[in-house]
């Protein structure tokens, strides 16, 4: 009779330990989801600020729009080349 009680106790302890592991994993998943959401919100806010700053720069610079677009194309090409070098080794 004593062995059954000891085994039952061990099973209960193992079940509690397993439940604690799942709870910890669930907490980590919730934390990562919240962190990801906060990062995406921050990224969205920063992109909005950048857009506004760039719009203000364009409107106040009095440069012809064609020249501004040409600079943007050059910057875009430069960024693409750098990304290719970094990720593809080209």
DSSP assignment of 1-49 equals: -HHHHHHHHHHHHHHHHHHHHHHHHHHHHHHHHHHHHHHHHHHHHHHHH
Spatial distance between the Cα atoms of 16 and 26, rounded to a whole number of angstroms: 15
pLDDT tier at 6 (50, 70, 90 boundaries)? low
Whether the model clears a pTM of 0.85, i.e. scores above it, the answer is: no
Share of the chain above pLDDT 90, in %: 47
Strand stretches in 37-90, DSSP E: none
Distance of CA 52 to the CA centre of its chain: 23
Largest CA distance in the chain: 92
pLDDT tens figures, 13-46:
777 788 777 787 888 888 899 999 999 999 999 9
């Amino acid at each position: 009779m004593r062995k059954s009680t000891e085994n039952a106790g061990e099973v209960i302890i193992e079940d509690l330990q397993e439940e604690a592991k799942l709870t910890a994993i669930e907490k980590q998943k919730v934390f990562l989801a919240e962190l990801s959401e906060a990062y995406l919100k921050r990224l969205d806010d920063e992109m909005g600020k950048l857009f506004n700053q760039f719009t203000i720069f364009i409107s106040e610079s009095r440069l012809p729009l064609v020249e501004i677009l040409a600079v943007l194309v050059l910057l875009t090409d430069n960024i693409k080349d750098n990304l290719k070098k970094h990720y593809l080794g080209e």
